[in-house]
Amino acid sequence: MAATKIIVLYGGKSTEHEVSVHSAQTVCRVLAAQTTKYQIYPVFISKDGYWFLQKTCGPQTPADIPVTPVLCPDKTLQAVDGSFSIKADVVFPVVHGTNCEDGTLQGFLETLNIPYVGCGVLTSAVGMDKELTKLLAREAGIAITPYQKVSRLEKYDKEKLAAWVQERLPVFVKPVRLGSSVGVSKVTHLDQLEKAIEDALKFDTDALIEQGIDHAREIFCAVYGQTSRVVASACGELRTVAGEFFDYNAKYIVAGGCETQVPAKISAQTEQKMRKDAQAIFRMIQGQGLARVDFLMDATGKYYMSEINTIPGMSETSLFPQLFEASGVRYEQILDELIELAQQVYHQKQSLVTSHI
């Protein structure tokens, strides 16, 4: 049987561009090692949005070949100079953040009419919006932290917001639609609030102000599958050792900036409930593919859903593979199932009637 041709997409017009490239290097390496099963085409998306075919997945190089996606039955990509084309079987997006993980790219892949790994347009858009996922989590009976939302598109009552914050310090201010802790600030004094909101609104039109949790523990659970079968991993914990909270600096810049504990040191009863809640929120947003659900746990053991990431970090050091390895599931197996699921979902959509005439 011929090898499945996979285009791995990474980079993109996003503040999480570098994180994406790092994740994709692992995905490409793991898939490329299965030479009889997959043929890999690493495609880098520049910060300007241009696509390049690379020999080896990584940061942009002068040897990269400019390519463009095409809407054509017998090709998916072609060289800008017209010298060659590629017809892929599946696209594997390993991208993070706005313009990539928020349904934008997924809608484009739908237009190209090609199977792709991961959540669809609606789920990706909802999953990127922290407020929408909180509202859905609350609807599913999962606890969330109290919050307020402000927008740079409309005026808000600063005095009323300041009074709300004063009663709940510390609070965290973050962009509504962004990941990797970009633009997140911890506010411990009221005079820090205005600057924190300004910083968050540099990255998004809306910002959340969330009540902080004393001595919060950050617990994570990964999932993959679709409605009828959603597999949940063991739970894990990340502890920051570089700063007050788990920000971008602790995640990606400072060596040893955080410590991973997989599985997390929580009771079996709490872990079981958290895994069920992770599955529930994934189903609630009509997830298909993969995701990582993040929780915050207070000193009493009560936990709150924080957010869901529909394309979590995928490198060897990322939580997603570590969580499943702790559950006895090999990374290669997950990638295989995600690619198979992408093709199944595509064929399900193709079977739908698109004309009533």
Task: Report the relative pairing of strands 51-53 and 38-45 from DSSP bridges.
Answer: antiparallel
- The pLDDT value recorded for residue 99 is 86
Residue 121, domain member (yes or no): no
User: How far is the C-alpha of 51 from the C-alpha of 14, rounded, in Å?
Assistant: 14
- Answer yes or no: is 70 within a domain: yes
Do 207 and 222 fall into the same domain? no
Task: Give all strands (DSSP E) within 47-195, no chain letters.
Answer: 51-53, 65-72, 75-79, 85-86, 90-93, 147-151, 171-175, 185-187
CA distance 243 to 240: 7
Q: Are residues 222 and 328 in the same domain?
A: yes
Residue 352 lies in a domain: no
Question: Which of these, 224, 319, 340, lies nearest to 23 by C-alpha position?
Answer: 319
Examine the domain organization and report whether 296 and 165 are in the same domain.
no
324/254 same-domain check: yes
Question: Do 177 and 234 reside in the same domain of the chain?
Answer: no
Residue 351 falls inside a structural domain: no
Please report whether residue 59 resides in a domain. yes
> 223, exposed or middle or buried, with CB in 10 Å at 0-12, 13-18, 19+?
buried
Domain that holds residue 186: 147-211
Shared-domain flag, residues 309 and 274: yes
Q: Based on the domain organization, do 200 and 233 belong to the same domain? A: no
Q: What is the reported pTM?
A: 0.91
Q: How crowded is residue 79: how many other Cβ atoms within 10 Å of its Cβ? A: 14
Do 183 and 265 have their domain in common?
Answer: no
Structure tokens at 156: 């808000």
Query: What is the predicted pLDDT for the residue at 354?
Result: 83
Same domain as 237, residue 98: no
pLDDT tens digits in sequence order for the chain, 357 residues long = 789 999 999 999 988 899 999 999 999 999 999 999 999 999 999 999 999 999 999 999 999 999 999 999 999 999 999 999 999 999 999 999 888 899 999 999 999 999 999 999 999 999 999 999 999 999 999 999 999 999 999 999 999 999 999 999 999 999 999 865 778 999 999 999 999 999 999 999 999 999 999 888 999 999 999 988 999 999 999 887 655 554 544 444 444 556 889 999 999 999 999 999 999 999 999 999 999 999 999 999 999 999 999 999 998 888 999 999 999 999 999 999 999 999 999 999 999 888 877
The residue type of 267 is: S
Where residue 219 sits, what CATH number does that domain have? 3.30.470.20
Q: Are residues 138 and 275 in the same domain?
A: yes
Instruction: Let me know whether 133 and 282 are in one domain.
Output: yes
In three state form, how does the secondary structure of 228-256 look?
CEEEEEEEEEEEECCCCCCCHHHHHHCCC
CATH of the domain at 104: 3.40.50.20
Q: How far apart are CA 180 and CA 178, in angstroms?
A: 7
Q: Is residue 33 part of a domain?
A: yes
The DSSP line for 33-49 is: T-TTTEEEEEEEE-TTS
Looking at residue 182, what is its pLDDT?
Answer: 79
If one counts the domains in the chain, the total is 3
Assigned domain for 355 exists: no
Closest C-alpha to 208, from 257, 294, 144: 144
Quick one: 223 and 335 in the same domain? yes
The answer to whether position 163 is within a domain reads yes
Task: Give the separation between CA 204 and CA 183, rounded to whole angstroms.
Answer: 9
Rounded to 5°, angle at Cα 223 from 221 and 226: 155
The CATH number assigned to the domain holding 176 equals 3.30.1490.20
Give the start-end residues of each E strand in 128-286.
Answer: 147-151, 171-175, 185-187, 206-211, 217-226, 229-240, 258-261
The two structure tokens encoding residue 32: 């490329």
